[in-house]
Amino acid sequence: MEKHRESDLTGKVVVITGASRGVGKQAALAFARRGANVVLAARTVEPDSALPGTLGETMRQIEAMGAGALAVQTDLASEADLNRLIDAAVERFGGVDVLINNAAATTGEIWSKRFLELTREDWLYQFDVNVHAPFTLIQRVTPIMEARGGGRIINLSTGSGEVFRLPEEPRKLESQGDFSLAVPGYYASKRALDRLGNSVAPELARKNIAVIGLHPGLVATELVAIRVKEKGLDDSVAVPMEVPARMLVYFAACEDPMEYTGRIFWAERELADLGIQLD
């Protein structure tokens, strides 16, 4: 894999889901530092005692940099909200150049429920947020990007055989101590998102739109910090949020994204292999 020169992102319009905290927020700040106009999507608008971060906080930090920002409260499981998000981006900034499908259903009881405890509603909600929302957003932004000469779509994934580049995918861990890693709805839906990106990449490449998957790894997000505290987990191998955020910026700015389209990458490894420096 070759490292490409990065183009100027000034004035580019970047839509990021899950931008109230974690990698989504960190990426929004990174794009803002490059001069992009950032459209922020998440459900959390008012402070939540159980979860850190809000859309308003992210937007205020971006505006303090002098960059353009728009916060759109969005329930990723609502088709109407997804359409409103893209309509708002077009109305405010004139279009969409980059879509970051970062949000995922990771809160609530899903991490403690085993397969036989999952309800059909639990299962469908995971797919609504993790697969169906990206599907709808990709369909909505494709004609907009094509009319602007092309674009980038980056899907946040999780570990898979392609990411680790082994002849056989590693055996799935069931737990880490008392902390469940089974989470069938999360992993199944994320794998479906991987395949969605793989399968639509050739069609969208003809429209000069790259579709790239990024596995962020175990990231030291606010939610991970909470789980580490609650479960006594070892977070010594967790990477800073700046690592996946920097790779998102790289894939959005690289001059030849078609080398990467339809593929899945691992943020920490690619950052090191390509010699990319953190901002």
pLDDT tens digits for range 51-94 = 677 899 999 999 999 999 999 999 999 999 999 999 999 999 99
**Contact criterion met (CB below 8 Å) for 263 and 155:** no
Say which residue, 224 or 248, is predicted with more confidence: 248
How far is residue 53's CA from residue 19's CA, in Å, rounded to a whole number?
Answer: 9
In a domain, 1, yes or no: no
In a domain, 100, yes or no: yes
Q: What is the mean pLDDT of residues 10-14?
A: 98
- 152-180 pLDDT per residue, tens: 999 999 875 556 556 555 666 655 555 45
How far CA 220 is from CA of 23, 96, 225, 242, in Å, comes to 9, 29, 7, 10
The pLDDT of residue 83:
98
In a domain, 118, yes or no: yes
In a domain, 5, yes or no: no
In a domain, 169, yes or no: yes
Domain that holds residue 56: 13-273
Helices (H), 76-205: 79-93, 120-127, 133-147, 161-164, 184-205
In a domain, 2, yes or no: no
The domain that holds 192 is classified in CATH as 3.40.50.720
Task: Say what the pTM is.
Answer: 0.90
Phi, psi of 51 (to 5 degrees): -130, 135
In a domain, 133, yes or no: yes
pLDDT band at 271; cut points 50, 70, 90? very high
- Residue type present at position 218: L
In a domain, 101, yes or no: yes
- 31-60 pLDDT per residue, tens: 999 999 999 999 877 766 566 778 999 999
Q: What is the mean pLDDT of residues 192-200?
A: 95
Residues 214, 56, 49: CA angle, nearest 5 degrees: 90
The count of structural domains within the chain is 1
pLDDT band at 240; cut points 50, 70, 90? confident
User: DSSP secondary structure string, 173-196?
Assistant: P-EETTEE---HHHHHHHHHHHHH
Specify the length of the chain in residues.
Answer: 279
Please report the sign of the dihedral spanned by the C-alpha atoms of residue 139, residue 140, residue 144, residue 150: negative
How far is residue 258's CA from residue 212's CA, in Å, rounded to a whole number?
Answer: 9
